[in-house]
Amino acid sequence: MKIAFLEDNESFAEDIVRSLTAAGHEVQHFLMGREYLKAVVSDKFDLCLLDWEVPDMSGAEVLASLRLKGNTPPVVFLTGRDAEEDIVQVMEAGADDYIVKPPNINVLLARISALHRRVNPNKNQAESINHGQLKIDLNKRKFEINAQIIKLTEKETELALYFFANLDVLLSRAHLTKVVWGTTPDIDTRTIDVHVSHLRSKLKLLPQFGWRLISVYHQGYRLERLV
């Protein structure tokens, strides 16, 4: 992916650029918002990675300007600001994701890749899953049982999609925390347990319906599709 990265802390930026480049991405780093805007508008980028506080413009102002111009790449904020009102502000302004500094590099790479896949779905990949009573439209993130739409919260949806993308794979709670919640494993594990319980109930991930979402003691969870 070709990534436009706005960050005025040069030392921090060097570390992020090095990690993204090592993962196979092409990164152009910018120190100033106006320079960044000019480049993104005139060139073709796959993703915009924004800091919130830069000398000439705020990241929120850069985002607003990009959205006004239309047809812009997905935008991810990478910032030290983690107040709920800040996150709500940029997400409502059109940001696609929000990651708090300092990021876990593996989580950052996973979130960037997931966003790119969501915006540019690979037509060679399965677009739907049909098994038992359950039907899933992966692109539309829609779940149905016997033609009835099942309402999930955003985190339940993300967790469910990750399970279905990793059938028969044992996923640790720490890994799920990083990938789905985008945070450290310090989150209360009961949060994951509650979400898993909700998925098992709402989507009927039970043997009598052709699925089994099992808990592996002290290790994590695995979703299995039964014959």
Residue with tokens 């005025």: 8
- pLDDT above 60 (res 180): yes
Q: How far is CA 12 from the centre of its chain?
A: 22
Does the domain at 2-119 match CATH 3.40.50.2300? Answer given as yes
Distant-in-sequence, close-in-space partners of 150: CB < 8 Å, separation ≥ 6 = 143, 144, 202, 203
Domain definitions of the chain by residue range: 2-119, 128-225
The DSSP line for 62-124 is HHHHHHHH-SPPPEEEEES---HHHHHHHHHTT-SEEEESSPPHHHHHHHHHHHHHHHS--TT
Per-residue pLDDT band at 184 (split at 50, 70, 90): low
Q: What CATH number does domain 128-225 carry, 1.10.10.10, 1.20.58.110, 1.10.3720.10, 3.20.20.70? A: 1.10.10.10
- The pLDDT assigned to 174 comes to 80
What percent of the chain stands above pLDDT 70?
A: 92
pLDDT of the residue at 123: 46
Encode 138-176: b = buried (16+ Cβ within 10 Å), e = exposed: beeeebeeeeeebebeeebbbbbbbbbeeeeeebebebb
Q: What is the pLDDT of residue 124?
A: 46
- Percent of the chain at pLDDT exceeding 90: 32
What average pLDDT does range 51-63 have in this prediction? 81
Question: What is the Cα gyration radius of the chain?
Answer: 19
Mean pLDDT across 15-44:
90
Over range 96-122, report the average pLDDT: 80
Q: How far is CA 190 from the centre of its chain?
A: 21
Average pLDDT score over residue span 190-210:
93
The model carries a pTM of: 0.53
Q: Which residues contact 93 (CB under 8 A, 6 or more apart)?
A: 60, 63, 64, 67
130 pLDDT higher than 50? yes
What is residue 35's three-state secondary structure?
helix
Most confident of 79-83, 104-108, 178-182, 212-216: 212-216
**pLDDT value at residue 4:** 93
